[in-house]
Amino acid sequence: MKIRKFGVEIWMNKYETQCELNLAETCVESLTVAELLDMAGINDIAQQLHPLKLTYGEIEGSVRLRNLVADLYEKQKMENVVTTHGAIGANALVHQTLVERGDRVVSVLPTYQQHYSIPESIGADTQILKLTEKTRFLPDLEELKTMATPGTKLIAINNPNNPTGSLMDRAYLEKIVEIARDCGAWILCDEVYRGTDQEGELGMTASIADLYEKGISTGSMSKTYSLAGLRLGWIAGPVELIHAVSVHRDYNTISVGMLDDHFAAIALENKHKILKRSHEITRTNLAILSEWVDAEPLISWIKPKSGTTALLKYDLPISSEEFCIRLLKKTGVMFTPGSAMDMEGYLRIGYTNGEAVLREGLKRVSAFLREAASLAA
Ligand SMILES: Cc1ncc(COP(=O)(O)O)c(C=O)c1O
């Protein structure tokens, strides 16, 4: 099967280990094992782990963990949840399960590239719904109506959105549900950043699995819960869909590691503490970034409402890749070029990798911008 190269993943693989200040990171600053256990008040981890026999474990994910994941939703039960190798595994499984050659799939752009490149690789009639500043990076509903012709198989959205940080609220999602219902489409909503809203005590917006009988939500421990190293994600959706996914999952997953499952369960049993920490980081850091953007004449944006990233427009006559490579070489700061996500003319910043990293990184980017502007003048 031929498939396009995954722009962002290639960029991260190539440069992540070479940078000094990582402003390309999309996780809320990752936790150490010690920090997680400390938050959970666990001081007998060895006693918990030593008797564990390392089998494949419970194939669809432990009952303990699937119940905890179901609790993140309004209407989902354990039977509506299956664990996967990260949200990346969850998304791939959903596309693979639902999409066939010739099917119409509508995907927003920008988003995580899986959502349009996998359907394209399957030979689906993949329609791109461009998110623009005009609608503050929310899907244009009239345009979606035109694209979602009768018989459309799948509409893929991403809420909160990576890279723009835009957020569809419940009412907006319900409008998308109406459009999908009219044409009979499934909706896959990649909700890997759910729980990082700038407002609200829980910081969580409604989930598509709770709003639509053909709604599928994917999520993981990576971003909001700061535990990407667990490689633990999930799909939440109608039981029939979970069964259909399981047919494919048997071929490429078997199960998710027992240790990953165990630590994810510990984390979700303490989700309020983790969410509190995440909100402190995301909210403090977005305020810092916002001040910086206001003071930078060459940078403009639509300020994020959620997530961990922002899309910055820059006013310099160079490509985004050249910008990012020069920035990295001169200052040690890593951004992600818009070209890696089919958004030339933009830069993506991940602003939740620790306050000190952000402050120092932005200071260096300011100096870089001043020098680049004087060279361009
Ligand atoms: C929108 C989106 N979906 C999925 C993923 C994959 O996340 P995970 O680490 O859970 O596989 C990412 C990672 O950057 C992402 O940004």
In a domain? residue 245: yes
* Predicted pLDDT at 240: 98
- Final residue before a domain boundary, out of 217, 235, 270: 270
Clarify whether residues 166 and 76 are in a common domain: yes
Q: Which atom of ligand 1 is nearest to the CA of 112?
A: 1
Domain count across the chain: 2
pLDDT of residue 376: 82
Phi (first) and psi of residue 210, to 5 degrees? -85, -15
Look at the chain and count its residues.
377
116 lies in the same domain as 255: yes
Q: Return d(Cα 283, Cα 196) in angstroms, integer.
A: 9
157 beta partners: 189
CA of 192 to the centre of ligand 1 (A): 6
Mutate to test the pocket of ligand 1, among 191, 223, 232 (most ligand atoms within 8 A of CB): 223
Distance CA 150, CA 132 (A): 25
Domain of residue 366, residue span: 7-32+273-376
**Are residues 212 and 102 part of one domain?**
yes
Alpha-carbon distance values, 17 to 12, 28, 125, 243, 323 (Å): 8, 18, 37, 39, 18
pLDDT of residue 128: 98
- How far does the centroid of ligand 1 lie from the alpha carbon of residue 367, in Å? 31
Q: Are residues 79 and 205 in the same domain?
A: yes
Q: Which atom of ligand 1 is nearest to the CA of 161?
A: 1
Query: Are residues 271 and 202 in contact, defined by beta-carbon separation less than 8 angstroms?
Result: no
In a shared domain, residues 304 and 204: no
Q: Are residues 230 and 344 both part of a single domain?
A: no
Per-residue model confidence (pLDDT) at position 181: 98
Q: Is residue 1 part of a domain?
A: no
CATH for 71: 3.40.640.10
What is the residue with the minimal CA distance to atom 2 of ligand 1?
A: 112
Task: State the pTM of this model.
Answer: 0.98
Q: Which residues of the chain have pLDDT under 70?
A: none
Cα(31)–Cα(219) distance, rounded to whole angstroms? 18
Residue 47 lies in a domain: yes
Indicate whether 145 and 255 sit together in one domain. yes
The CATH number assigned to the domain holding 308 equals: 3.90.1150.10
The sign of the dihedral angle between the CA atoms of 355, 27, 281, 162 is: positive
Q: Is 37 within the bounds of a domain?
A: no
- Same structural domain, 341 and 299: yes
Q: According to the model, what pLDDT value does residue 375 have? A: 86
* Ligand 1 mutation pick, 95, 112, 157, max ligand atoms within 8 A of CB: 112
89 with 208, same domain: the answer is yes
**Atom of ligand 1 lying closest to residue 220 CA:** 10
pLDDT of residue 377: 79
Any ligand 1 atom below 6 A from CB of 162? yes
Q: Is the dihedral of CA 31, 34, 35, 37 positive or negative?
A: positive
304 and 265 housed in the same domain? no
Shared domain check, 308 and 226:
no
